[in-house]
């Protein structure tokens, strides 16, 4: 477990590392130090995850740093949220588009049988399926199509 020893007078990190290395002469349970032990020894677990505020951000590894939450709650993070570059945004968008096209293509392929001359469907159902298939083909023309829901299959 990665922990940081905190100087609470100025909310800075004095040292950080693996708990077994920082306190080599202490025997810890397999789960690591308890919350009480950490608190009593001015230590905080280093967090390696943060929620992303939007899809145009990512996490990057950084040296541990202190953040104060709610006025006094000390957190130590080893990741930081950064904005994606315009190139990364384009790549992510292209990936989403490719993924949606793949799903759309699979839905079309899975419904090919409905339009075959020997399909067991009555003509009225073939028309429903043909309409559905056209909606799938037109899917990429819908506003924000990458995030849109696919049309429902006929029953």
pLDDT tens digits, residue range 16-40? 999 999 999 999 999 999 999 999 9
- Spatial neighbors of 19 by CB under 8 A, at least 6 apart, are 1, 2, 3, 28, 32, 33, 43
Range of the domain at 127: 86-147
Domain match, 61 and 131 both: no
Domain match, 30 and 100 both: no
- pLDDT for 71: 82
| Number of domains comprising the chain | 2
Residue 155 resides in a domain: no
Contact of 81 with 38, CB cutoff 8 Å = no
Contact of 48 with 16, CB cutoff 8 Å = no
- Considering the entire predicted model, what is its pTM? 0.67
pLDDT confidence of 125, banded at 50, 70, 90? Answer: very high
Domain match, 32 and 17 both: yes
Domain match, 74 and 6 both: yes
Domain match, 22 and 78 both: yes
pLDDT confidence of 72, banded at 50, 70, 90? Answer: confident
Residue 153 resides in a domain: no
């Amino acid at each position: 477990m990665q922990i940081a020893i905190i100087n609470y007078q100025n909310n800075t990190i004095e040292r950080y590392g693996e708990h077994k290395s920082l306190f080599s002469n202490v025997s810890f349970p397999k789960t690591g130090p308890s919350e009480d032990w950490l608190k009593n020894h001015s230590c905080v677990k280093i967090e390696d995850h943060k929620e992303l505020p939007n899809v145009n951000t990512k996490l990057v590894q950084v040296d541990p740093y202190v953040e104060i939450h709610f006025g006094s709650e000390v957190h130590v993070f080893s990741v930081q949220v950064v904005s994606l570059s315009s190139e990364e945004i384009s790549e992510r968008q292209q990936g989403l588009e490719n993924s949606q096209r793949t799903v759309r293509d699979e839905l079309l392929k899975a419904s090919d049988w409905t339009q075959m001359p020997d399909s067991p469907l009555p003509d009225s159902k073939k028309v429903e399926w043909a309409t559905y298939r056209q909606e799938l083909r037109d899917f990429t023309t819908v506003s924000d199509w990458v995030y849109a829901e696919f049309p429902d299959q006929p029953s």
